[in-house]
Amino acid sequence: MAIQTKDIYKIAAHHRFQWEKAQDCYVILFPEGMVKLNGSAGEVLNLVNGESTVESIIEALSKKFIDVPNLAKDIEGMIELALDKAWIEKVN
Amino acid sequence: MEIDKKNNGVSASTTATQPLWLLAEITYQCPLQCAFCYNPTDFDKHTQNELDTESWIKVLREARDLGAAQLGISGGEPLLRKDIEEIVTEASSLGYYSNLITSGAGMNEKRIDALKDGGLDHIQLSMHDITEEINNFITNTKTFKLKQKIAAMIKDRGYPMVLNVVLHRYNIDHIQEILEMAEGLGADYIELANTQYYGWSLVNRDQLMPKKEQVLHAEKVTNEYRKRVGNKMKIFFVVPDYYDDRPKKCMNGWGEVFMIVTANGDVLPCHSARVIPNLEFPNVNDTGLKGAWYDSPAFNKFRGDDWMKEPCRSCSEKENDLGGCRCQALLLSGDAESADPVCTKSPNRHLIDQAIKDTENPGVEAKPIMFRSNKNSKKISDGEEKERLAKFHATP
């Protein structure tokens, strides 16, 4: 699924995104399932809040991870994956 | 995380990751009498010593600290307890994703609202068939209309609608209509769970087990339906392991992900683990969950693969299924450390082949079903029905 830089997404209905202290990572919880997110996936989904555009998520993470090459492409890839898995849904 | 090597006859290559899933089997009482119930046949002896609310809240807190994030509140019928609302509220404040697993009996408008207010995340409702006749027959109760009503109530309150349908020879041919019913009710998820033979379902195996062509048909219809409906309704098809040639990776590994606390406080790595003799399971009245999970001999017994015998030990596929189900190995072959008889490499595979052959023999299912009732449980606890059990159980 192709995404646009002006798109805004939120965590999908019936899904919950939260930090798990015992696991030391972000997770997505939903009926009958739980996905542990690796560090970068967690950072991206933490900014998927129903208000920020894809563009602004890329901008925010670019400031945080200055030396990472192809960051924008990775972030878009992560959002596409989350959309494909139905963890997030489009707001606008 | 590696844990210390214990010198108590316990596997050394233990993995002991964190529990992610807590199943609270909060009561064994149930108004339904389903012939396929996986609860222990001797549940009757645990109906008088149920944990109180305070103990359950302690269980929730300790399991959450260990890492459990998914909570299933099950039974029996959990709604028979008056403190489910209190327990759900605590679970929500601790950050669990909570699931009430119910037959619908005991639910009403007031309770479903209170549960929503308490933060319950979803409700999994059991359904049995599209016909009132089969529903009422297999549960031995008149509950068909109730379930339709509760399904509508779940949808109306904005919960994700998760339906669970246990499949057996009486309903498996209705799979298309069952899926249509689920879609019509607005189900977000449907779990088509082929009966696994433990507890009451093992006692009734001859009566419940479908023929091979029934299973193949159900699988085909399900795959076609899934293609059509896509993400709108997620369909899980739990395969019947008897018709496979490799065993299931039971519970995703013994003591790896799941922790079950039973009505009387026993802490188990799987629903039916207590069938294995000479294993003493921890109880929350005596020990904390941390000790139960990491240090108890019972939880460490089948972690990793040091416990394996041949043909599992040198099998190139052992990582795929970890030798299958320990309880099934014990129940059918008499040895919990042997390969799951479902595996075609097991020397006991003939036991499964015989069961499959029996599905073609109309004489075999002629015995009446033994429904899951307190009366029948008492009978089994008292040693009656030995002959019937002996047919399936390798151990006395």
Q: Which amino acid is at B183?
A: E
Nearest to B160 among A20, A27, A31 (CB): A31
Residue B7 has a pLDDT of 30
Q: Looking at beta carbons, which residues of chain A come within 8 Å of B17?
A: none
| Chain B residue whose CA is closest to A85 | B231
Q: Which residue has the tokens 């739990």?
A: B238
Distance CA B320, CA B318 (A): 5
Select from B227, B253, B239 the least CA-distant residue to B326: B253
Q: Which helix (H) or strand (E) holds B380?
A: helix B374-381
Select from B162, B152, B235, B248 the least CA-distant residue to B197: B248
Q: Looking at beta carbons, which residues of chain A come within 8 Å of B101?
A: none
Residue B190 has a pLDDT of 97
pLDDT of residue A69 exceeding 90, the answer is no
Q: Looking at beta carbons, which residues of chain A come within 8 Å of B124?
A: 31
Query: How far is A18 from chain B, CA to nearest CA, in Å?
Result: 9
pLDDT of residue A20 exceeding 60, the answer is yes
Query: How far is A69 from chain B, CA to nearest CA, in Å?
Result: 32
Q: Which amino acid is at B283?
A: N
Mutate to test the interface with B, among A15, A25, A28, A32 (most CBs of B within 10 A): A32
Q: Looking at beta carbons, which residues of chain B come within 8 Å of A23?
A: 18, 67, 69
Contact between A22 and B67 using a beta-carbon 8 Å cutoff: yes
Cβ proximity of B88 and B118 under 8 Å = yes
* Positions in chain B whose pLDDT score sits under 50: 1-14, 396
Residue B162 has a pLDDT of 95
Residue B118 has a pLDDT of 98
Contact between B231 and A32 using a beta-carbon 8 Å cutoff: no
Contact between A16 and B121 using a beta-carbon 8 Å cutoff: yes
Residue A66 has a pLDDT of 87
Residue B395 has a pLDDT of 54
Q: Which residue has the tokens 């064994």?
A: B28
Instruction: Give the model's confidence band at A1: pLDDT under 50 very low, under 70 low, under 90 confident, else very high.
Output: low
Question: Chain B interface residues facing chain A, Cβ-Cβ under 8 Å?
Answer: 18, 20-21, 65-67, 69-70, 95, 97, 99, 121-122, 124, 160, 162, 188-189, 191, 231, 236
| Chain B residue whose CA is closest to A14 | B160
Q: Which helix (H) or strand (E) holds B117?
A: helix B109-118
Residue B383 has a pLDDT of 87
